[in-house]
Amino acid sequence: MTISRLRTPRQGFMPPFVLERIIERGGARLQACARQTLNADHGFRAGRAPAPVADEALPAGSPTPGEPARYVYSAEQRQVLPGTLMREEGQGATNDPAVDEAYRWLGATYRFYWEVFERHSIDRQGMPLLGTVHYGQDYENAFWNGTQMVFGDGDGELFNRFTAALDVVAHELAHGVTERDAGLIYAGQSGALNESLSDVFGSLTKQYHLGHSAAEADWLIGAELLTERVQGRALRSMAAPGTAYDDPVLGQDPQPGHMTDYVETESDNGGVHINSGIPNRAFHLTATTLGGYAWKAPGRIWYDTLQDRRLTRDIDFVGFATLTVDNADQRFGSRSREVEAVREAWHGVGVLS
């Protein structure tokens, strides 16, 4: 199914509760950075921010399957989109780390989707991959707006630039894939699944790029974002939700890894960045039980489920888990170890009985 990008809210990488904690506990400069980031994010939700580029104004995509069409812009510390074009497909490095990282990681993400799933860009038809860097002043977020990916530079004290992490770039591109394939409503459990799918395919992109097996992977999301000042390893841990950080300013990672700890909240679109820890852990359990490369059987099952026409926009955890079991059955057979691993993983996080 095709979901209109105009109906999809902007999906950001940084959980709002992290920024709110910085405003409560950080120094004056950190408070100012977090506050202006939240204000910019609120402006997006209220429709006051720059509109996505119109489809007819997009640069050319790629007519050749297997070859991406990348365009990296700079907002030059303003909140404008897409900004000034700095590097496009085939051009050499610019010596601007953010520009060159965005270009490299967009390419790595494209290669993952093409070589693993034979998917030709976000829309399967060679859609141009647009990235804008240097967005805003000390902006502490990255997001997908329905047309392109946007990356802030961070505050330099707690957070590095958001292009530094391959899995962050891949996470945002995955929002575009989910938007076009399923259009999951960005609230409650469907929203948490939306975030989880971005973490899953972001992590798989990094694992594929590094050649890491499920046992070798760190299963951390956004590890490169944190500076040495932060007491933590990343923003999220798929292997052990709730353990990614425990810091005097950021507080403690609030993600649950089991339904007994599911967080009922009206903030963060119903806890989309919090409760995503539960399906994240289910994927990790599946991958580590099966062993080998996680982008093969586990990644294929999750990708098949994303393509499944039975995947409704408002699906909950139980519905999604049931579909993954069924897709494992269809691909590997009802008596396969893949089916058993998927079923046991969802049982292990309390979603399936």
Per-residue model confidence as pLDDT tens for the chain (353 residues): 233 333 445 678 999 999 999 999 999 999 999 999 999 988 655 444 555 665 557 899 999 999 999 999 999 999 999 999 999 999 999 999 999 999 999 999 999 999 999 999 999 999 999 999 999 999 999 999 999 999 999 999 999 999 999 999 999 999 999 999 999 999 999 999 999 999 999 999 999 999 999 999 999 999 999 999 999 999 999 999 999 999 999 999 999 999 999 999 999 999 999 999 999 999 999 999 999 999 999 999 999 999 999 999 999 999 999 999 999 999 999 999 999 999 999 999 999 99
Catalytic, 42? Answer no
Same domain, 162 and 217: no
Name the residue among 277, 297, 309 with its Cα closest to residue 341. Answer: 297
Same domain, 255 and 330: yes
Same domain, 37 and 154: yes
220, 210 contact by CB (below 8 A):
no
Which is it for strands 129-133 and 70-74: parallel, antiparallel or unpaired? Answer: parallel
The kind and range of the H/E element at 150 are strand 149-151
Length of the chain as a residue count: 353
- Report the sign of the C-alpha dihedral through residues 276, 161, 178, 330, in that order: negative
Indicate the DSSP class of residue 165.
-
Name the residue among 136, 166, 159 with its Cα closest to residue 151. Answer: 136
Catalytic, 273? Answer yes
Tokens 């010596």, located at residue: 95
Share of the chain residues as helix, strand and coil, in percent rounded to the nearest 5 = 45, 10, 45
Structural domain contains residue 353: no
pLDDT of the residue at 52:
61
252, amino acid identity: Q
Structural domain contains residue 304: yes
Indicate the DSSP class of residue 333.
-
Same domain, 263 and 197: yes
Out of 89, 101, 140, 172, which one is annotated catalytic?
Answer: 172
pLDDT of the residue at 45:
52
- Report the sign of the C-alpha dihedral through residues 216, 222, 227, 230, in that order: negative
Residue that finishes a domain, picked among 130, 149, 181:
181
Tokens 């292009």, located at residue: 163
Which burial class, exposed, middle or buried, applies to 281 when counting CB atoms under 10 A from its CB (0-12, 13-18, 19+)?
buried
170, amino acid identity: A
pLDDT of the residue at 11:
74
- Report the sign of the C-alpha dihedral through residues 306, 308, 312, 316, in that order: negative
Domain that includes residue 285, residue range: 188-348
Q: What is the radius of gyration, based on Cα positions, of the chain?
A: 19
Same domain, 231 and 334: yes
166, amino acid identity: L
> Which CATH number does the domain housing residue 332 bear?
1.10.390.10
177, 158 contact by CB (below 8 A):
no
> Which CATH number does the domain housing residue 173 bear?
3.10.170.10
Same domain, 196 and 343: yes
Q: What strands lie across the sheet with 70-74, from one edge to the other? A: 11-12, 142-144, 149-151, 129-133, 70-74, 84-88
Residue that finishes a domain, picked among 151, 181, 211:
181
The rounded distance, in Å, linking the Cα atoms of 207 and 235 is 17
Same domain, 117 and 220: no
Which burial class, exposed, middle or buried, applies to 336 when counting CB atoms under 10 A from its CB (0-12, 13-18, 19+)?
middle
Residue that finishes a domain, picked among 181, 205, 230:
181
Indicate the DSSP class of residue 262.
P
Distances (CA, A) of 328 to 102, 131, 189, 351: 34, 34, 22, 17
Dihedrals phi, psi of 351, to nearest 5 degrees: -85, -45
Q: Give how many domains the chain has, as a whole number.
A: 2
Alpha helix (H) residue ranges in the chain: 16-25, 28-45, 97-117, 166-181, 188-210, 268-271, 277-290, 297-307, 317-332, 337-348
